[in-house]
Chains A and B, each alone.
Chain A
Amino acid sequence: MTLFIEQCLNGLQFGLLLFLLAAGLTLVFGIMDLVNLAHGSLYMLGAYFAATFAAWTGSFVFGVVLALGATLMVGMVVEVVAMRRLYGRDHLDHVLGTFGLILFFDELVRLVWGPEGLTLPLPSWLNTSVPILPGVDYSAYKLSIIVVTLAVAAFLYVLVMRTRIGMLIRAGASNREMVGALGVNIKLLYTLVFGLGAALAGLAGLMQAPILTVQIGMGENILILAFVITVIGGIGSIRGALVAAIFVGFIDTLGRAFFPDLLRMVLSPAAASTAAPALSSMLIYLLMAVVLVVKPEGLFSASGK
């Protein structure tokens, strides 16, 4: 039972982390109609920046704050230099252009930080466990990830639905020419949105950094999961991304933890241990396939509104 609660929290934590990535992806797609494969590179950069700045300043918190600022800046520079020229082009162009950016960033990181990974050590006040229920302890750091991502999700909701900038973002998503004609600096708005998406990806990367190692290509595997989430949730919908991300986080984590045991009940132990790793990694794709059969546009399609 303790294990089950712990795994549920792990699933929630992983799902919320995926939400940060998927939110940036879906925001950029919904507003600029841009498919950004290089989103995973920004996730990777966030982790590398945090590890580097934390080592320089000697403080975890300073490292995190500086890394967030740095990924925001990188995102805006990338938007001005490259992405801006891709708006309005074919999606295939986006895929190819941003694929080129992935190659560039991966190699750049290898050039600057070297091929072996970095680590981001946790400060002692986060590296403990706290009792969440009588007799159940949970990592303070993972708990703080849950709190931070929930706060960011709330912040995003308020930003998009309740502020003037959010109003412009929503307006720009439905008709960019009209918003531009009304005197809004749409170029600057896009740069800001892209920077915001980059910072969200960077935040996800740096929060994941103490749990996993910081390494080249870390953004690519998780980017695929973010794609699955946007497809399930409906492209362009932040609410859909949140629901789908939590779903995927739960299914992936719980699947890996308990699916082998379930399989052992049906199959022979030898067959189960052979099939389990392959099958449990298929679970979320099966979920995606089911959603596609039922609702090809995703659960909360933005175009339907």
Chain B
Amino acid sequence: MSGWLSVRAIAIVALLLALVLLPVHVELGGSRFLLTLFTRIIILALAAVSLNLILGYGGMMSFGHAAYLGIGGYAVGILAHEGVFTGFIQWPVALAASALFALVIGALSLRTRGVYFIMITLAFAQMAYYVVAGLARYGGDDGLTIYKRSQFIAPIDLSNKVQFYYICLALLFGSMYLVRRIVNSRFGLAIQGARSNDTRMRAIGFPTYRYKLVCFVIAGTLCGLSGALIANHTDFVSPAMMYWTRSGDLIIMVVLGGMGSTFGPLVGAVALLVLEEVLSSITEYWQIILGPLLLLVVLFARGGIDGLLGKVRHG
């Protein structure tokens, strides 16, 4: 691995420090908006971390990852709408529902590979989108307002913005650690082996289908957690949060940051969402810049930001 003083290591430590100290800056008179923006970034980074597990390490090009954001979010939203406010029920239900969806979708999609897999995950996520948009009782297309955030025991209060920020950050770090542990375990090595050569892995006796399915379900569950956080962050869930362009955003974060690296998804999420903020403050038509920029990244900076930082060290 890279040395402690490489450009990449310094950049990442600086980013982590900045994230940890951001609420302090805001308390000392910084803009409140920063706290909201970065809470959102951290939650979406958590989703990107989960996608990185299957996309970066497992080579499974899921284009339907936003579905779990929606399912996790709607689990919280629907339970709150029905009068169940305790997070000890809401969150486990959010995770379980995402895991179940991932299990069904994964079991079907993993029978195929390559471009079929991309299209099928996309189609199933879009199905979930239409189903949710058709739930007239829960707002349908217009979405569902959540009047009360998830309730936990006394010291934990999600309505406190600073506390909520740190809870999200802790969950993000926790999931990054979890993914790292998974990837370096025997299970994770088998998954990575299946990415490089599925046939060979099967030939030496690994049931890769089951391994990949378990990996797919873990990623979906983690992303469901991210969805439950978003619902609490915006106090609102709508079908738009699981629209397929959101899945595209998540893929961009992973690729932009650097696929198959621990910090890549976080770097990518920060880079993409900050870039969006900056561009949209310059022009109303900011996507006209972002689109071609993406194409350029794909064509010329394949390793993402993580790859670029790695190159600086060598050069």
Contact = CB atoms under 8 A, between A and B. Distances in A.
A and B assemble together: yes
B123 A104 contact: no
Contacts of B292: 100, 104
Interface in A241-299: 274, 277-278, 281-282, 285, 288-289, 292-293, 296-298
A281 B127 contact: yes
A289 B124 CA distance: 9
Contacts of A177: none
A137 interface: no
Contacts of B109: 292
Nearest to A273: B136
A86 B294 CA distance: 13
B63 A111 contact: no
B142 to A, nearest CB: 14
Contacts of B251: 92, 95-96, 99
Interface in B123-150: 123-124, 126-127, 130-132, 134-137
B20 interface: no
A96 B252 contact: yes
B111 A101 contact: no
Given A231-B123, A282-B131, A103 B287 contact: yes
Contacts, number: 124
B112 A292 contact: yes
Contacts of A102: 245, 291
Contacts of A110: 285
B60 to A, nearest CB: 11
Nearest to B123: A228
A6 interface: no
Interface in A120-160: none
Most A Cβ at <10 Å: residue of B251, B286, B291, B297: B291
A95 B61 contact: yes
A104 B299 CA distance: 16
Given A99-B248, A100-B291, A296 B63 contact: no
A198 interface: no
Interface residues of B, number: 45
Contacts of A297: 112, 116
A89 B112 CA distance: 20
B127 to A, nearest CB: 4
Contacts of B61: 91-92, 95
Given A96-B251, A107-B291, A274 B136 contact: yes
A292 to B, nearest CB: 6
Nearest to A101: B291
B293 interface: yes
A120 B251 CA distance: 36
A207 interface: no
A82 interface: yes
B231 to A, nearest CB: 20
Contacts of A108: 288
B196 to A, nearest CB: 14
Interface in B92-135: 108-109, 111-112, 114-116, 118-120, 122-124, 126-127, 130-132, 134-135
A220 B245 CA distance: 9
B293 A95 contact: no
Interface string A4-37: 0000000000000000000000000100000100
A277 B291 contact: no
Contact of B118 (A85, A91, A281, A289): A91
B244 interface: yes
B170 interface: no
B115 A111 contact: no
A278 B134 contact: yes
A99 B285 contact: no
Interface of A: 29, 35, 82, 85-86, 89, 91-93, 95-97, 99-108, 110-111, 220, 224, 227-228, 230-231, 235, 274, 277-278, 281-282, 285, 288-289, 292-293, 296-298
Interface of B: 55, 61, 63, 108-109, 111-112, 114-116, 118-120, 122-124, 126-127, 130-132, 134-137, 244-245, 248, 251-252, 255, 285-288, 290-295, 297-299, 302
17 contacts: A92-B55, A92-B61, A92-B255, A95-B251, A96-B255, A96-B297, A100-B293, A101-B291, A105-B291, A107-B288, A110-B285, A274-B135, A278-B132, A288-B120, A288-B123, A292-B108, A296-B116
